[in-house]
Amino acid sequence: MTIDINTVVKIAHLAHLKIPPQQQQSVAGDLNKILAWVGQLDEVNVEGVEPLANVNDGSLGWREQDVVTDGDKPQDILANAPSKTADFFTVPKVVE
Amino acid sequence: MTDLTDLSMTQALAGLAKKEFTATELTDRYIKASIKGQAATNAYITTTFDAAREAAKASDERRAAGHAGTMDGIPIAMKDLYCTKGVQTTAASKILEGFVPTYESTVSQKLADAGCITLGKANLDEFAMGSSNTTSAYGNVVSPWSGEDPANAARKLVPGGSSGGSAAAVAGRMALAATGTDTGGSIRQPAAITGIVGIKPTYGRCSRFGIIAYASSLDQAGAMTRTVADAALMLREMAGHDPKDSTSLNLPVPDFTQALGQSVKGLRIGIPREYRIDGIPAEIDTIWGKGAQMLREAGAEVVDITLPHTKYALPTYYIIAPAEASSNLARYDGVRFGLRETGDSLTEMYENTRGSGFGVEVRRRILMGTYVLSAGYYDAYYKKAQRVRRLIRQDFIGAFEKCDVILTPSAPSTAFAIGENEDDPIKMYLEDVFTVTLNLAGLPGIVVPMQLCANGLPMGMQLIGKPFDEMTLFKAAAALESAAGYNAKPPFVG
């Protein structure tokens, strides 16, 4: 289960993260080291153990009423936009 | 006359109440210290001195009018992971340079409501990922323990991380206290190696609303101070249920300061044998033993306990935390805030923005997280880690049947130099070997400074409490602090 350059390219793409070709080898090396190290977990018998996602699971707070409590502030939401037009974020064209 | 920066928060509040000095005088003194300290240590990313002076004036007016808050006039540093309305918030990342939130984090708002004065936004490891404050896009923080002139010291020491700027500011007398956040040890490891107190409360005690997320099931806010009493007071003001964070606990917040000075007679202190780790300096083991002896002499009972899955905590963390980070950090895409690079297509814009905006360690964790969550590896890594996480939590639940509080070391060495531990990512990860278990189990932990080691650098010990039982934790911490009598000051003070 080692990570080669093709895997680095694949997961970088999944993560929307550009990794320059000259760095891919060293990234693969680091990830392999970490994977080998976390491989220690193979020693642990987890049969019948339920995964724990959150230490307070079962006690999450729920809204008493599902009502809108915030909003209607487009200027706040757009305040940090790198690019905007009227009340919209703008991005490179996605439809031809 | 005593220098105002030598007073603890509790002492400063008493002085303010008795009109021995004003919040303006105290704040001006700390601004002077912060200017000097900034040049020496780079503890801040952004300073807000003008706003601090105005806030101090308002604080004096409130006090004169007879309605001062519980922390009124106390100058603090705010970790730059807390969103602050109208003040740049970067998470120490280039990707958030220039980001000015239009809202305030719940915890920073609560502290402002209590009367705290913010001197600036403290430096940290990028997105709180690191143990040395050397991954910040805004420069390394140099520990005030590096020498009288830290910026030009031959061996520049790290303040720890990720709350390194907070630790340097509090230890170096540039702030009376600071906020931190702790995902794997980011409050406690820097506190331990800079000689201050750091508390990470039970998961859910403090609202995470407005705190930039790293790993949501582990992240927790906490206080970094010079005394246990100060930490108890500050945490009391920070904690509490928040409807804006569904993981914040809907429980009353006890007055933690009531725990101080209570007898520890009969308290059972657990010593976990698995925390005696190969390669840890003998001196740390010795201090650990001394700590147990101090609590025994104060009337506590010391019992041996076992936490069998301890050695698996770090590998578990380095699956779960990157997995959550890869999801949380997906929002930095160049559309709504922060950096945007150009690209011919939307995807290329995303990839270029994120490739150039994130530093090496953040990219590494995003990739690792993406990998362990990807099809074919999810069960083998992520689900497996979540199962081991339950075993780690069960270890603690079992141990707490035999004891009330657990005493352990808090960092595997005193402060190391900038650049050390950087040849291999796993070496840096090992810095959190004693702290990370608590985040996985959701438990509260506090670091109390104990003494200077033979190399002249401070070392603290960690106390671990039962979930929601910060009261007992503070009681034991105050007893340990009183017995240790630590009062060392770093060679550099602001």
Domains of chain A, residue spans: 1-42
Residue of A3, A16, A35 whose CA lies nearest to B425 = A35
Q: How far apart are CA B22 and CA B137, in angstroms?
A: 36
Chain pair A-B, CB pairs under 8 angstroms: 171
Domain count, chain B: 1
Does residue A4 belong to the interface with chain B, where contact is any CB pair within 8 Å? no
Q: Do B336 and A27 touch (CB under 8 A)?
A: no
Does residue A21 belong to the interface with chain B, where contact is any CB pair within 8 Å? no
Residue of B483, B489, B470, B480 whose CA lies nearest to B236 = B470
Give the pLDDT band of residue B1 (cuts 50, 70, 90).
low
Residue B401 domain flag? yes
Residue B232 domain flag? yes
Residue B3 domain flag? no
Does residue B364 belong to the interface with chain A, where contact is any CB pair within 8 Å? yes
Query: What per-residue confidence (pLDDT) applies to A66?
Result: 86
Q: What is the mean pLDDT of residues B397-415?
A: 97
Q: Do A89 and B243 touch (CB under 8 A)?
A: no
Whether the Cβ atoms of residue B67 and residue B58 lie closer than 8 Å to each other = no
Question: pLDDT above 90 covers what percent of chain B?
Answer: 97
Residue B1 domain flag? no
B271-285 tens-digit pLDDT: 999 999 988 999 999
B149-206 tens-digit pLDDT: 999 999 999 999 999 999 999 999 999 999 999 999 999 999 999 999 999 999 999 9
Is the pLDDT higher at B398 or at A62? B398
Query: What per-residue confidence (pLDDT) applies to A95?
Result: 81
Q: How far apart are CA B199 and CA B469, in angstroms?
A: 13
**Cβ contacts of A19 on chain B, cutoff 8 Å:** 355, 363, 367
**Cβ contacts of A65 on chain B, cutoff 8 Å:** none
Residue of B nearest to A46 (CA): B387
Q: Do A56 and B389 touch (CB under 8 A)?
A: no
B52-108 tens-digit pLDDT: 999 999 999 999 999 999 999 999 999 999 999 999 999 999 999 999 999 999 999
pLDDT score of B30 more than 80:
yes
Q: What is the mean pLDDT of residues A61-68?
A: 80
Q: What is the ipTM of this complex?
A: 0.95
Average pLDDT value for chain B? 97
Residue B217 domain flag? yes
User: Rounded to the nearest 5°, which phi and psi values hold at B451?
Assistant: -170, 170
Q: Which CATH number characterizes residue B363's domain?
A: 3.90.1300.10
Kindly report the CATH number that applies to the domain delimited by A1-42: 1.10.20
Residue B4 domain flag? no
Instruction: Return the residue in A6, A11, A45, A87 with the most chain B beta carbons within 10 A, the one to mutate for interface testing.
Output: A11
State the DSSP code for B92.
T
* Residue numbers of A between 31 and 50 with CB closer than 8 Å to B: 31, 33-35, 37-41, 43-44, 46, 49-50
- Check whether the bond before B356 is cis (ω within 30° of 0): no
Residue B2 domain flag? no
Q: How far apart are CA B360 and CA B57, in angstroms?
A: 43
* Residue numbers of B between 230 and 249 with CB closer than 8 Å to A: 241, 243, 246-249
Whether the Cβ atoms of residue B408 and residue B480 lie closer than 8 Å to each other = no
Q: How far apart are CA B454 and CA B257, in angstroms?
A: 33
pLDDT score of A69 more than 90:
no
What are residue B303's DSSP bridge partners? Answer: B270
Give the pLDDT band of residue B360 (cuts 50, 70, 90).
very high
B426-474 tens-digit pLDDT: 889 999 999 999 999 999 999 999 999 999 999 999 999 999 999 999 9
